[in-house]
Amino acid sequence: MSDSDDTTREFFAYGLLLLTMCIWASAFAGLEFVLAEINPYALTTARLIIAALGLLGAGVAMRIPLPKRRDLPVIVAIGLLGFTFYHSFLNFGLSYDDVTAGQGSFVVSTVPIWTAVLAWMYLGERVTIRTWLGLALGLGGVGYMSLDPDQLAISTGSFVIVAAAMSAAGNIVLQKRLLDRYRALHLSIYVAIAGALPMLLYVPWAWEGLTGLGWGRWAVTAYLGLGPIALGYFLNAVSLSILDANRTSQFLLLIPPMATLIAWLTIDEMPSTRLYIGGPLILFGVMLGQLDRMQQGDEGE
């Protein structure tokens, strides 16, 4: 493949990443809307099952092949880490009274750091000082936007959310390995089903809350399953098949400012003035990390 083809594929991947971050960021306004009438565990169950059914329907329509038996343990692990464990740990951690939404979003934003460490250990991806500096700047921007110094505290809930962030990072790294052997859509279908199956056990407890939802909130719930989870996961897998795991995960830092802007446009939630400082810090940090990876690519030619 020529250098121009590689450059075109990378720009395509970056475009998909930005679209993915927008879709994922849109989930926060939708979650706030639906959680006014339902508990987070019931909503998570509905989202994961809807996402899995949507992807399964696409797989049946396209007649995709079954995964190889030797890869089933890794596929199940990816599904559990990225779907079952991540969403369950996140919701459980946020249920603690001493964990604010800002603290939760900040801890989740450590996913690129855990991904960089795991990608270095298991994928052999190079992590330079400039990459760490970019991550630090981006995380600093997220912290400035989301944290209240008067409410900072180390709690059990925070550690549970750290487990969610580490689960997401493990999902990314393991997924990167299998994308060498599977198409992004096929792998997305396999892991979504693997991750949603354990949630079926919670259906009896979630059913009563789900049946009480109005049509408007059911429509948003369907979007939260088919959009941010099913479509978002697939688009991210396509990008991950082209770019490094570390490089891809850095874009997750863009979600907080995007979510703030989307909430302002959709549910009239006014953004804090902290966005004007935290947002540029995040953008500069992500750009620094991406420029570092591009420079490495140029030096390797």
Higher pLDDT, 81 or 42: 81
Rounded CA gap, 83 and 229, in Å?
A: 9
Q: What is the pLDDT of residues 211-266, one digit of tens each?
A: 878 888 899 999 999 999 999 999 999 999 888 888 888 888 787 777 777 777 77
Rounded CA gap, 65 and 77, in Å?
A: 20
Q: Which two tokens stand for residue 34?
A: 């639906």
CA distances (Å), 80 to each of 5, 74, 102, in order? 35, 10, 26
Rounded CA gap, 8 and 17, in Å?
A: 14
Whether 152 shows a pLDDT value over 60: the answer reads no
Region of 272 on the Ramachandran plot (φ > 0 left; ψ -120 to 50 alpha; else beta) = beta
Can you tell me the mean pLDDT for 30-52?
85
Whether 189 shows a pLDDT value over 90: the answer reads yes
Rounded CA gap, 300 and 281, in Å?
A: 29
pLDDT value at residue 289: 63
pLDDT value at residue 251: 84
Nearest to 126 by CA among 6, 253, 298, 246: 246
What pLDDT band is residue 298 in, cutting at 50, 70 and 90? very low
What pLDDT band is residue 81 in, cutting at 50, 70 and 90? very high
Nearest to 91 by CA among 53, 41, 125, 47: 41
By the 10 Å C-beta count (0-12 exposed, 13-18 middle, 19+ buried), 77 is classed as middle
pLDDT value at residue 122: 85
Can you tell me the mean pLDDT for 172-177?
91
Buried b (16+ CB within 10 A) or exposed e, 189-217: bbbbbbbbbbbeebeeebeebbeebeeeb
Domain ranges of the chain: 7-300
pLDDT value at residue 274: 64
pLDDT value at residue 154: 59
Q: What is the pLDDT of residues 253-280, one digit of tens each?
A: 787 777 777 777 776 666 666 656 666 7
| Residue 220 near residue 16 (C-beta atoms within 8 A) | no
Q: What percent of the chain has pLDDT over 90?
A: 24
User: Which of 134-143, 187-196, 286-295: highest mean pLDDT?
Assistant: 187-196
User: Taking the model in full, what pTM does it have?
Assistant: 0.81
Other beta carbons within 10 Å of 240: 23
Rounded CA gap, 279 and 106, in Å?
A: 14
